[in-house]
Structure 1
């Protein structure tokens, strides 16, 4: 790889070492003064060289390897100049002894001849034996010079014996030295080091090195999220990133003594086509990495949202219908990461062949059983293989059958068969897609009771999935440019299918008790699995993906062999796959009209069960940390309420009867006297008894009783059933109470996820808030709970200026700032019989809820409940309101003024807090 340094075009435009050497030779003085002059001259050359490399990259933004080689060349020339001036002018030795020999090696990535603009300079100083006083002085002086140039230097200084001893003991050192490259100094010493490294460190340790590097790779993948489809990938260390390519080359170099990546073809580890794919992926990833460093102005390896848009612009990605440049760029990135994964599988298969002896396999344990019915496929050391290279061409349906057999018999697929499948996937045409046998095989894999996720992922890696279902092929490697979705669309869908299979197998019973029960009550399993596959299939088409996806379902399901009734059910599920989560998270489930409207759309218990299962796996497959106990409880509440309506019809138990039943249950829980309970119950209006569940009713009653005649009482306790903390405020009611509490909770470092506001008949507020920390966990430590209570008390007692403290709290969200979300205020007077429902969509930011609540306070309305949902950078806050006398807000002029205030608050316009 270092050979690229020799083929760089017009290298002197980057740095002219001969001219600089003459300029350094002309410098006067000695000691510190001479070194200061040298640093000034070299710093200017370094900056000019970096500017030239950046200019070339800007002109040819996809030439990553050229930029990486240019950076390494620049550092090479600077090191040689520093070495020469240090050894000849600062610390000259007229008659060196045999021990006063010194050579400078580049190691690691720099040794490979590849550097990003802000990469560390990894170097090794070598001496024949123990360091002399002269070599110590030279090394120390050189390091100070490099640091003064602003370089980040990773360095070691060792004798030859130390080098051998440490390389044997430490895998990291051994890997760094594997790619060592002579830079300057004693050439013979460098040659001796290379010979000893191969003879005394590498020889006889091939198998151990390969096993250690693969284990290291697996651990790195786990650390980075164990998927190449995370939407903020680490381009260096992540799965499918540069380090995976480096690992392949390290293994090939160690085992086959290669010096260049092209040698992987001669060693039989890659074909010429795969070598071109390797080089194309490497060039692209290096281009992205160099642009990333330049955009961040530091050694940044994570492709974060706030940098993705700029890099897409730097690399000249253009807008396409329904696709932003950043989404096209990231899809290209994920396709290259996928290519790296494909090459890794092929490479390891060849490595396996090299190491396998007498039936042993190097990388994977042999599978003992031998299934009989393989329809012409054969087993090779426990893996499903092809009898000959033209097997797929004879019958392209076998491309689908390969994966169906792997699933049916629990077999792994031989990488050579995967390579052939990837090569021959183009054979899947309209005739194959219409073949009833092929569709039946595909449906078998999709609805497998075993491990459909793994086999579908294999099918996707081989490009068979996207060829067989072209609509799915359109979303392969497609990202959604937001902070909510953690994976690409294809990876999200495949993960959702895997979660569904695990629920059906009873593996997630603790997390999903209702789902684990109802999945065995549904009439058609395949309707559910097909709906999960198709729910996001129309993303990126520029319209409502739910509507467009339903159209895809109507077209595709008959081809897969589904009946007209099943097809209609799948299309309905895809069309409404967001309905249940939107209702549960953004509407008041205590308002019975919410349940009636939802049930009217769903219409049948079977649809309800299917929709519940689809909703759960859709949310969980978004990414880690998205699912929590609060969402589980809300969905369960909606499911149970809707199921009752659908089972019994709309003639529910009357409102008064429901209140009486709740009060009777609460009286029994409390154990109070009839008179005491009656006095308490009479103070609270009917909506309170409808809105709150039994456990909160009990907590509230005990809280009010403990407060006695006090005018303010605040309770905060962990509410494990909801995965949150319940904060109850019992205080004298007054306008602005809600916005003050919301601001105080934010100042304490918590986030409100739900709020119910009640007023007793004698003028006391009884407000319940569910809060979490910024990571979606309960706010649960004693000191944090005490801080929360104190913050609310201070805000309500007006002990400090709440607005000033909120403005002074620095909580920037640079990642969220990468997204432009136009705020929208939706006003609905039909969603509830008693309330005006207002939904605000805006970019999430600290204290947003406080700002919206203050706007409502200014508008002189009463908030009865608030429901807060966050989808990455997008916040959706819903309020149930009345005017001050308890009626809906219907006057157009007043609604217009309300909308304007909320839009200003959502946009972050500073409110007039004079009234506060």
Structure 2
């Protein structure tokens, strides 16, 4: 029925177009659209409104025809025997069944298949989780699952929209930088995205009157997300110019959410899409449970999403006054980085012909000039100090009873500002509680008990992983030991937050999965890890985990799957530390192998940024020598690079 109605509409529109042009044409320029609309029965007195109504109906029918015919094509097509894709972790490890199951879905030949027609009625949250499963594991939807999702989309009701667990899952989907757009497009095509975020649903097939826009509003947003994804692992300009910026973003889901909502105001009636966009963003951000600080950053990005293009292309960026005013508006480095990426993705998502080398140079120049102004200016340092003071006051007011004010003061004194930029008040209190438990064990324990770490596990099914937080004394090679014990347990590290306090206490958080099943970490694996890490930390000798890791890992036999390993050592970007960046194909024990090389050369990891996306690990380590000095010796750094390449290749 939907196909018949859509095809009939296309024929009537094409027929009217031929009457208006008196010749056979299939191109309907904007000048003709109001006249065609009038003769098809769109009688709004405003030509712009007539055009909008006609084109929205036209795009809606075209979209429906495309989705229906694609579904039929998929059902009729034979699946290719050789699909060139990176292997999932499931293919890299021995053992287990050929058919894997997760949360009521089977994984067959790289596709998610429902085990029951009631799978979503029984647990509506699966409507959101299934997109995260596909995204994290690189899976496609079987046509039966696609149809079942479409049939059950009405389950996305008010209760579903306001459910906190669904919020967690949705934000985790947005957090998978480099791989967000496919999930969002799939959600939109199944009619779930517009139901879950009605403010976006209003933009479906909405025509944009701006001269440069080549897409309807919803398609423009999805293309923008695709452009942002392309930056993540780009090796060619202009995308590669921004790769390091995206890799350094602490909270990627905020950037993706801002880009997703940046034009949502166009679905409103007032005509001021920036002001309306701010109202939408405030409403959606609050509904998704963002805290005040992150909601303020989201609002800033949506409110100012046109600012950087205007300043770079229409202002004299050689003027110190212009740079000062722009930096004052941007406020901090994280806003600057996110706004730069949003500007680039928005510009390329508007039209393929809109961007050029000149505009690219202007944007990069403004980014660098404003960045230097922010990091050296008094305003930036004052704002950061005020933020820390306010956060400390809030932490004092909500301090758990068992934590003393002195412990809180020590926590703020001994950690870097970046820790407090990336941790909410809730997680600061969680870390303080773990440090408190550790210090009590040190004071009250006897024998080797005082050296045992405090380990806290937390399964997060809505986010698709388990977090493990470790608190202990820092020592040379500790990161190597922890990552080795996790790998020897059969756990794949998706990401990590590693922080060393100035008083010698480390608070390391690893986000992990069972490498064989892709599932959450259960009691047996937790017990194994505790045994391995405790034995390693109590031993006087360096632990060896290689044999255990090799028994778990199945080597990649096909060279066609091997991603090239890239290593970059930077002695300029950080004042007191050298930065080692490693990009390589993800595999069990990768972090352990990298950190083992660094430890062997007498380097300690002060901060680590670990990220795994699209089958690639992109890891950044801020290192010092064991004496606390910044390593700068060229011969040493060259040898480290050579040893890393040999180890990983």
Shorter-normalised TM range: 0.5 to 0.7
Tell me if structure 1 keeps the 8 A contact 2:149–2:190: yes
Matched, 1:285 2:10: yes
Partner of 1:534: 261
Distance 1:294 1:646, change over 3 A: same
Matched, 1:567 2:295: yes
> For 1:522, what is the secondary structure of its paired residue?
coil
Partner of 1:419: 147
Matched, 1:495 2:495: no
2:167 corresponds, among 430, 436, 439, to 439
2:39 corresponds, among 309, 314, 331, to 314
> For 2:342, what is the secondary structure of its paired residue?
helix
CA displacement at 1:644 relative to structure 2: 2.5
CA distance in 2 between counterparts of 1:575 and 1:563 reads 18
Partner of 1:618: 346
Unaligned runs of 5+ in 2: 92-97, 380-649
Distance 1:386 1:591, change over 3 A: same
Matched, 1:521 2:284: no
Tell me if structure 2 keeps the 8 A contact 1:371–1:409: no
Matched, 1:480 2:208: yes
CA displacement at 1:478 relative to structure 2: 1.2
CA distance in 2 between counterparts of 1:424 and 1:409 reads 23
Matched, 1:592 2:317: no
Partner of 1:329: 54
CA displacement at 1:562 relative to structure 2: 2.5
Summarize the alignment of residues 793-808 of structure 1 with structure 2, pairs less than 5 Å apart.
none
Distance 1:462 1:470, change over 3 A: same
Distance 1:330 1:366, change over 3 A: same
CA distance in 1 between counterparts of 2:84 and 2:117 reads 23
Partner of 2:271: 543
Partner of 1:471: 199
CA distance in 2 between counterparts of 1:451 and 1:511 reads 19
Tell me if structure 2 keeps the 8 A contact 1:380–1:414: no
CA distance in 1 between counterparts of 2:274 and 2:143 reads 37
Tell me if structure 1 keeps the 8 A contact 2:174–2:252: no
2:334 corresponds, among 606, 624, 630, to 606
CA distance in 1 between counterparts of 2:168 and 2:29 reads 42
CA displacement at 1:391 relative to structure 2: 2.0
CA distance in 2 between counterparts of 1:638 and 1:629 reads 14
Tell me if structure 1 keeps the 8 A contact 2:221–2:259: yes
Deviations 1:813-867 (A, max 9, x none): xxxxxxxxxxxxxxxxxxxxxxxxxxxxxxxxxxxxxxxxxxxxxxxxxxxxxxx
1:458 corresponds, among 170, 177, 186, to 186
CA displacement at 1:432 relative to structure 2: 0.6
Tell me if structure 2 keeps the 8 A contact 1:366–1:382: no
CA distance in 2 between counterparts of 1:560 and 1:449 reads 19
CA displacement at 1:551 relative to structure 2: 1.6
Query: Higher relative CO (CA 8 A, sep ≥ 6), structure 1 or 2?
Result: 2
Unaligned runs of 5+ in 1: 1-275, 652-916
1:397 corresponds, among 103, 109, 125, to 125
Summarize the alignment of residues 43-122 of structure 1 with structure 2, pairs less than 5 Å apart.
none
Summarize the alignment of residues 691-840 of structure 1 with structure 2, pairs less than 5 Å apart.
none
> For 2:35, what is the secondary structure of its paired residue?
helix
CA distance in 2 between counterparts of 1:320 and 1:605 reads 48
Partner of 2:641: none
Deviations 1:486-518 (A, max 9, x none): 11111111121222222122x155214552222
1:410 corresponds, among 138, 154, 157, to 138
CA distance in 1 between counterparts of 2:324 and 2:300 reads 19
Distance 1:590 1:510, change over 3 A: same
CA distance in 2 between counterparts of 1:449 and 1:584 reads 26
> For 1:379, what is the secondary structure of its paired residue?
strand
1:302 corresponds, among 27, 30, 37, to 27
Tell me if structure 2 keeps the 8 A contact 1:493–1:532: yes
> For 1:306, what is the secondary structure of its paired residue?
coil
Tell me if structure 1 keeps the 8 A contact 2:232–2:246: yes
Q: Which has the larger radius of gyration?
A: 1
Distance 1:404 1:351, change over 3 A: same
CA distance in 1 between counterparts of 2:294 and 2:134 reads 27
CA distance in 2 between counterparts of 1:323 and 1:389 reads 45
Distance 1:377 1:588, change over 3 A: same
Partner of 1:641: 369
CA distance in 2 between counterparts of 1:556 and 1:371 reads 39
Distance 1:308 1:589, change over 3 A: same
CA distance in 1 between counterparts of 2:248 and 2:266 reads 31
Distance 1:419 1:528, change over 3 A: same
CA distance in 2 between counterparts of 1:628 and 1:587 reads 18
CA distance in 2 between counterparts of 1:410 and 1:320 reads 50
Distance 1:446 1:363, change over 3 A: farther
CA distance in 1 between counterparts of 2:16 and 2:238 reads 43
Distance 1:646 1:621, change over 3 A: same
Deviations 1:184-226 (A, max 9, x none): xxxxxxxxxxxxxxxxxxxxxxxxxxxxxxxxxxxxxxxxxxx
CA distance in 2 between counterparts of 1:554 and 1:321 reads 31
Deviations 1:98-155 (A, max 9, x none): xxxxxxxxxxxxxxxxxxxxxxxxxxxxxxxxxxxxxxxxxxxxxxxxxxxxxxxxxx
Deviations 1:669-710 (A, max 9, x none): xxxxxxxxxxxxxxxxxxxxxxxxxxxxxxxxxxxxxxxxxx
> For 2:247, what is the secondary structure of its paired residue?
coil
> For 1:302, what is the secondary structure of its paired residue?
coil
> For 2:76, what is the secondary structure of its paired residue?
helix
2:115 corresponds, among 387, 394, 405, to 387
> For 1:422, what is the secondary structure of its paired residue?
helix
CA distance in 2 between counterparts of 1:518 and 1:543 reads 33
Aligned residues: 369
CA distance in 2 between counterparts of 1:553 and 1:323 reads 27
CA distance in 2 between counterparts of 1:363 and 1:345 reads 20
CA distance in 1 between counterparts of 2:58 and 2:159 reads 32
Distance 1:603 1:492, change over 3 A: same
> For 2:351, what is the secondary structure of its paired residue?
coil
> For 1:385, what is the secondary structure of its paired residue?
strand
CA distance in 2 between counterparts of 1:304 and 1:418 reads 35
Partner of 1:556: 284
CA displacement at 1:371 relative to structure 2: 7.2
Partner of 1:731: none
Partner of 1:761: none
Distance 1:456 1:589, change over 3 A: same
> For 1:478, what is the secondary structure of its paired residue?
coil
Deviations 1:78-111 (A, max 9, x none): xxxxxxxxxxxxxxxxxxxxxxxxxxxxxxxxxx
Tell me if structure 2 keeps the 8 A contact 1:346–1:416: no
Tell me if structure 2 keeps the 8 A contact 1:317–1:329: yes
Tell me if structure 2 keeps the 8 A contact 1:466–1:474: yes
